[in-house]
Structure 1
């Protein structure tokens, strides 16, 4: 068995019209539509990070499958870590999220409840994933 070798990403070629690097053609001749991170508003970065954490937690809870109890992706230890991270992110940035805050909080609480239901021995109130940041979830 041989080890796989890392592949290098193609170099970005500056666009002929003098546009910014990262917006030109890559070595294969396709357009590279990556925005510069500095151009992305902070609320968008925070929201996308929260959605990624939510999606990963849902997967680890087995919620993507027909039967969460039989899901091969189910891993409650991993789900706990993701939900706790999500709770910390939302709690720390709630003042910046504006109209997104409510939906993100609702999603977090849904995951916290799903975790409690999935647990063979549910944590006491206030001890569940992320509850040190959000308070007890019922």
Structure 2
């Protein structure tokens, strides 16, 4: 998943150029709407979305989005290790709340851990790979 960020050349709402019907700057109204929306989102969805974002970022850093991961320009195993470890900590701490979502998220985590092991020139010892202090060894 890639997030589109407004480019510098794209017009940005400012208090002087854009207001909503209440007279507030549009970007302030949007921010307030986002805060209200977030308050309505169940915690399991927030946790699941965070897990998916960590998975996606780790996959990018492993080069898995490219046809040839070994030559991927985005490949950065140090960054991938951090993301996978963060994901493992989140999943381990949240498993009781995830319910039916826990299985697929754990499967995704293990897939990333295996991909990391395969991508490493010198694989970590069992139990020493990214996130394995939370999940146990992944073979």
Bucket of the pairwise TM-score, normalised by the shorter protein: 0.7 to 0.9
Q: Point out which structure has higher relative CO (alpha carbons under 8 A, 6+ apart).
A: 2
* Secondary structure at 1:97 match in 2: helix
Equivalent residues in 2 for 1:1-138, closer than 5 Å: 10=14, 13=20, 26=26, 34=34, 36-138=37-139
When the two structures are aligned, how many residues end up with a matched partner?
A: 123
CA distance in 1, matches of 2:106, 2:90: 11
Moved over 3 A (4+): 7-12, 32-35
After superposition, the C-alpha distances for 1:1-54 in whole angstroms (9 at most, x for unaligned) are xxx8xx975566356xxxxx9xxx937xx9x97452111100000000000000
CA distance in 1, matches of 2:52, 2:14: 29
CA distance in 2, matches of 1:9, 1:79: 35
Normalising by structure 1, report the TM-score: 0.79
Does the Cα contact within 8 Å between 2:61 and 2:79 map onto a contact in 1?
yes
Does the Cα contact within 8 Å between 2:13 and 2:26 map onto a contact in 1?
no
Unmatched 5+ stretches in structure 2: 1-7
| Structure 1 residue 78 displacement after superposition | 0.1
After superposition, the C-alpha distances for 1:91-126 in whole angstroms (9 at most, x for unaligned) are 000000010000000000000000000000000000
CA distance in 2, matches of 1:9, 1:55: 30
Q: Which has the higher helix share?
A: 2
* Secondary structure at 2:99 match in 1: coil
Query: 1:97–1:73: structure 2 CA closer, same or farther, 3 Å change rule?
Result: same
